[in-house]
Amino acid sequence: MAQATSVADAFTAATGRDVELVEITTKGDVSSEPLATMGGTGVFVSALREAVLDGRVDVAVHSLKDLPTASPDGLVLAAVPERADPRDALCARDGLGLAQLPPGSTVGTGSPRRAAQLRALGLDLEVVEIRGNVDTRLRKVTDGQLDAVVLAYAGLGRLGRTEAVTEILDPLQLVPAPGQGALAVECRAADGELTSVMSVLDDPGTRPAVVAERALLAELEAGCSAPVGAYAVTAEGETPEEDELYIRGVVISGDGSMSIRKSATGSVTEAERLGRELAREMLEDGAGAVVGAEKLVPKKENVS
């Protein structure tokens, strides 16, 4: 609701049009199962998309990191507003940072990506699977059930809870989820007038970054609950045509013992190609086996 309200307010400010908010409950909101076991990809999205397609609402606002990489027929990604801080944040007892947590400390997260990268740091932390909204997760720290939790800094910011953050984690150490910190605004593809109007919210710096990140995820054939991280940033050139895009990707096993990390740089005009080519390089290094993807990398033919 906080995310939808921010988009509605920005839309009204830009166009003068009033917006009515419609609250829709998704499977991901009501289930306490781990994301990986209840399907992962799309559990926060499907109900909203159905509401757009059947005409109950005109626009859906999603966390972009929850959005499957394949769009269903009849919908279009009308806008990607300016991205909030994509980094992960530690909320720990006694104001501790990650390196200050004693060995054996319990750290809660609902994300396989965060859990795998935390284990890979070799800090001897006990990573615990948790679910629930932000307040529920933070309460586990204040009540002494956990020593810390890791959450998206953007979500904490939208809810006004950044005072709970004890460390904003380095995105090269804990690589964010593809699209983290960004919002997705979806409309019916047939509603060209509304799609055109909503595009006023699209941010030209955010769009290529998340396109590259999601292209990497799509090429790996991994869902939003897989242990995959991608972080892209744009660097301004002397002209918009000379703007560059830097992307870093990581694929990591659940126990943190195996990881593949690669990066690439290219033109913002080729964001999707850049993300896909980086993913192919990672697949050639064995990323498919790490994330459980079924895609096989074509092998060079042997001539005898």
Point out the catalytic residue in the list 29, 54, 66, 143: 66
Considering only the top CATH level, what class is 204-291?
alpha beta
> Same fold for the domain at 1-81+181-202 and the one at 88-168?
yes
Q: Which fold has domain 1-81+181-202?
A: D-Maltodextrin-Binding Protein; domain 2 (3.40.190)
The candidate with the shortest Cα–Cα distance to 117, out of 33, 61, 175, 160, is 175
- The H-or-E segment that residue 62 falls in is strand 59-63
CA distance readout (Å), 16 to 13, 60, 180, 185:
6, 19, 29, 18
Q: Which residue has the tokens 């006023």?
A: 200
Cα 199 to chain centroid, rounded: 21
Give the residue extent of every domain in the chain.
1-81+181-202, 88-168, 204-291
CATH class of 88-168: alpha beta
Note down pLDDT in tens along the chain; length 304 residues: 889 999 999 999 999 999 999 998 766 555 455 555 445 556 678 889 999 999 999 999 999 998 888 877 899 999 999 999 999 999 999 999 999 999 999 999 999 999 999 999 999 999 999 988 999 999 999 999 999 999 999 999 999 999 999 999 999 999 999 999 999 999 999 999 999 999 999 999 999 999 999 999 999 986 656 789 999 999 887 777 788 999 999 999 988 889 999 999 999 999 999 999 999 999 999 888 887 643 433 333 333 3
What burial class does residue 167 get, using C-beta atoms within 10 Å of its C-beta: 0-12 exposed, 13-18 middle, 19+ buried? buried
- DSSP of 228-295: EEEEEEEE--SSGGG-EEEEEEEEE-TTSS-EEEEEEEEEGGGHHHHHHHHHHHHHHTTHHHHHT---
Q: What is the pLDDT of residue 154?
A: 94
Max alpha carbon distance in the chain (Å)?
A: 71
Indicate the helix (H) or strand (E) that contains 134. helix 134-142
What's the pLDDT at 151?
97
Residue 203 is a catalytic residue: no
